[in-house]
Amino acid sequence: MSSTFLYGFHVPANGIRHHLLRYGGKGPKLLVVPGITSPAVTWGFVAETLAQHFDVHVLDVRGRGLSSSGPELDYGLDALATDVTAVLSALDWQEVTVLGHSMGARIAVRAAAHMPSRFGRLLLIDPPVGGPGRRPYPAPLAWYIDSIRLMAAGQPWEELKRFSPTWTEAQLRLRAQWLHTCDEKAIEEAWSGFHNDDVHANFASLTVPGLLMIAGRGGVILDEDAAEIARLAPGLKQVVATDAGHMIPWDDEAGFFRLLGQYLNLSFHPEGA
């Protein structure tokens, strides 16, 4: 199968440089906002398949990949959400489908709650639902920082096996190549935000419809969390990827696209699934 990748480019918005990768180029706009240590390129295999039906753009969240980085930047959730709405405004996109994974889903929820006119639909993939007074996020901060430091020191990709033992060699090699671009301050502030930022208020004010996909083996969203979100945001359809951990497309690519396709009423054909 030939690649649907077109090019990468930069957008100045919210006072910094944002890097995006474009796939497909046909169909309605879809923006992917990745998770805490996932530069845009690591979502390429998902974007390749999404591009069968969408004009897909994958964002390097600030402090990751080729977007602006550095100790002087604010990496809090409000800044990240403003980045997304500022990028959409700079590109003059309206009613965009936004797919966010993990941290990226939290960003999408807050951004859509603050500027719903730019969003047509949300595809939220296993967002952390912690916050003040809630249980801690199941992955410790050291899991992220230790792996970043190993790759920043040029250690071989095999060192990542103990962090992600179910991933393929190709997935680990790509992560090893790009993990060093994740700024430690950005990761620390995002992880702290999983515990300190209240996204439940954003769920309660959502007017944008969408999908909430829950990892059946992730331990991030429990049954009681799903029930609470259902009360707060009845416009989100909930589905469970029963055979996947938190990194759903990596654990069960076929299942991920099956659930996504059922919601979107589209048929996806991932090359590797």
pTM value surpassing 0.85: yes
pLDDT tens figures, 28-52: 999 999 999 999 999 999 999 999 9
Which segments of the chain have a pLDDT < 70?
A: 1, 272-273
149: number of Cβ within 10 Å: 13
pLDDT tens figures, 216-246: 999 999 999 999 999 999 999 999 999 999 9
pLDDT number for residue 253: 97
Sheet of 29-33, strands arranged across: 5-13, 16-23, 55-60, 29-33, 96-101, 119-125, 210-215, 236-241
pLDDT number for residue 231: 98
pLDDT number for residue 170: 96
| Residue 235 contacts residue 211 (beta carbons within 8 Å) | no
- Write down the CATH number for the domain with range 5-134+197-264: 3.40.50.1820
pLDDT number for residue 11: 98
Contacts for 140 with CB less than 8 Å, ≥ 6 apart: none
* Farthest-apart Cα atoms in the chain, separation: 49
pLDDT number for residue 2: 87
pLDDT number for residue 271: 83
